[in-house]
Structures are given as structure tokens and as C-alpha cells.
Structure 1
Amino acid sequence: MSHLLEVQDVESFYGASQVLFGIEFQVGRGEVVTLLGRNGMGKSTTVKSIMGMLAPRRGSIRLAGRDLAGQPSYRVAQAGIGLVPEQRQVFPNLTVRENLVATAHNRQQLQAPWTLARVYALFPRLQERQHNLGANLSGGEQQMLAIGRALMTNPRLLILDEATEGLAPLVREEIWACLARLRDTGLSMIVIDKNLGPLLRLADRHHIVEKGEVVWQGNSDQLRAQPGIQQRYLGV
């Protein structure tokens, strides 16, 4: 499998405080991988480093061979990485439809691009709410909108940071089902979430992050077979 994203030896700091200590992992084309670990171990900092919100002091971040380390966020997005951020961050004063079309672009010249109709087919509730303001949506609807907005950029890689946090169980199940459908389209994804069960069913490979380093990686069967690893690093 050829690598779409390669994160190599990345070190990132907040001021004088180092958070990432040579983190490394890859995402193959059409692959779904996870970043697992307790809070404060560097997962979100890794996302910020990839997305250009935090410039690494060392290391490389390559998308399809192009080094993006230290590039501004808009360049990273233009290169083909879409982010569904923690806390969703939809535009509260725009309607659902306006939120979606605001980011729409097919820079990668995908043959079957994401369109309004395609996002509405994935999330029928967004079509029902298309004239509602972002601020007037439920948490689950805002999460669907955040995913739809990222898809409208037609990314080669989608990163989801805590996509099901704070959602009701039925809504969580709906989000997981949608992510499975996205996986089946061949979209590469990095998923960060605390719900290990759905991640084991969804993802191809898992990376456990501890104190800014990847300390374990393997597939779902390997992780299921190592409850000691789960207990040590995930506390489950």
C-alpha cells in the first residue's frame, strides 16, 4: 500500500514546553487509522501540527510526497486535508446550506466530488435543516454539518478529532455508520475518539500515543488480543 500521509520524527512545542517527541506514523491510500491515548498525550497537538496550526520544530509531514510541515493551514487544506475539529466549530450565523457551500471546492479534481446533494444523501437531517442557522442545530446536527463541511472541500485525507464526543448514543451510532460509509468510498481517514469498540470495527490500523510518541501500533485483531496494552495506555 502506498502512503498518502507520512509523519516522520515530528517534534512540536508550545513555547518552551515540548509536547511531541519524534512522533511517526503513516496513512495509506484508502486506509482508516486511529490515534489513541489518554487526554494530554499529544493527539490533538499532532492534528494541529499536521494542519498547520502549530509549526513543528523538527520532522516532516508529507501528503502524497509534498512536505507540508510549517505550511499555513489554508495551504494544508488546499493540498487536500480536511479537518472535522474538536468542538465542531460550525459558523453559527450561517445556515446549514451556507456552511456547506462556503468551503466547497474540488481542487483535487476528483471524478466523483462531494456536492450538496451527496452530503444531503449522507445526512438527510441536514437537508431538512438546510435553512436553519448553525447556532440553532442540536449537537448531533452540528457534528453532521462539520463532517459535511469538511467533505465539501473534497479532501484526499479526512481527520476527525473527537467526532462523537458529547453526543447521545443514538446520534453516535449514526455518526459511526456514516464514517463506515465514507470508509467504503475509499476515503483515507485519521480518527481520534475515546470509543474503542466502534474504532476497532472501523479502522485498519491503530496508533497509541503516550507522552508525544507512538508507543504501540497494530491492527484491530492485534489490539483486541492485548487487553494489557489497552489497560496500560487507554485505561479501558
Structure 2
Amino acid sequence: MPVSELAGSTAVVTGAGRGFGRGVAAELIRAGARVLGLARDREALEKARADLGDAFVPVPGDATDPGLAADLLARHAPRTVVLAAGATPAMLPLQDHTWETFSAAWDTDVRHVFGWSRAALRQPLPPGSTVVAFSSGAALRGSPLSGGYAGAKAAVRFVAAYADGQSRRHGLGIRFTALLPSLAPTTDLGVGAAAAYAAYEGITTEAFVDRMGPLLTPQAAGAAVLELARGQRTDALAYGLSADGLTPLAD
């Protein structure tokens, strides 16, 4: 999609109240889009509205609700859909997890990416639309303290690839892609994960973060999504994402 088409377009961002979702919403608005920001936390959404202005439209709700996904896509036909909602994993060794804590990312992250991708295909969204699903670098490297999180994020990447395959098969012209961001202690989720892994290694959180080098920020994540929404990067189905930007991943 050409750069100019983002101005005046509509976008939907799930998980828009915090972290990467909030950063993506801000960058889309900066590019001229109207953003429907979905999250369960009404207070966080209202704060985002106050900070980002009237171009941010708060939508309190559950991103895993398939009826809500179908309704929003049907009513607004967004050109850009960013699936950034996700459960915060319990940071525990395997033996201390319950099935409920172990499977939380499957019930939220995977379920909502599946539901929105399915709705985008069934409607379908207009040709030229882009759906970006946030996976995680943990899908490549594992995450031994977060239960089923790494496996769930790998499944998110697969769902996006499957959806893109169906779009191509049926000539829908919708692009689906996945982003696999590195651990980012610039978000609440990343702060908790960094502290847990630092404790696991017996070092301070500061030492753990210092050795990571440049940190991925929500603003940088938003800038990466803009590249994809504008059609500036079409060389892969999935991308690693770090402070250095996008890295195409082999299929």
C-alpha cells in the first residue's frame, strides 16, 4: 500500500492500551490513520485517548471474542489490523506452573490471532489490507520460565502464514504477516521477564538489561508496522524485530 494511503485510512489495534499495541497505535495516528484501539482496560484506553487525541477511538472489549472481531471488521473495513493483544505470562519454572498458567498464551494470544485472521478472510477485508500479528522472538529461542508462551507464539506465526496462504489461494489481496520482537524491557511484559530471567541467572536486572545492548521500544515497533502497512517490506511472511529494525525470516 503506498505511503499516502495510510492518511485517512482506518486501523484496528488490539492490545492498544499498553506496550507494543500502544506504540503501534501512536505511530499509525502520526501517519494519519484513525485507530480503533481495543483492550480490556478502559482506564488505559482513556489515557491513550487523552494522549493521542480524537484519532484514537477506544473500544473496550475482549480481543478473543470472535463476534467482536467480525463486527468491527464488518462495520469499519480497516486497511490495517494489528494483533498485539496478549496475556502476561506467569514467570515460573515448569514444575511450578499449573495447566492454567502454562496455557494462558494459547487461550489469549493464539485464540485472538486465529479469530481475527479467520474473520478477515471470511468477510473478507478489502484488497490491499494488511494484518500484522505479534509473535515473539521466544518462538525461535524458547522461554523456559513462561510456560507455553514460546509454543503459543510459534503458533501465532503459523496462523499468520496459513492465513496469508488462504488469501493468496483465493485471490483476496490481503497480506498477513507476523512480527517476532526481541525481549523488550521497555514494556511492562518485558520488564517482568527481564527481572525473572535475571533472578534465574543470579544477576541483577540492571546487569541483565545492560548486556542486551540497544533496546526495542514501542515506538520502534510502531515504525516497523508502518513499513509493513505501507507495503515497504514484502520480502518475507515473518520478520524478527529488534532495535535495529526488521529482519526477514525464512519460511
TM over 0.5: no
Q: Which has the higher strand share?
A: 1
**Relative contact order, higher structure (CA 8 A, sep 6+):** 1
Q: Which has the higher helix share?
A: 2
TM-score (norm 2): 0.30
TM-score (norm 1): 0.31
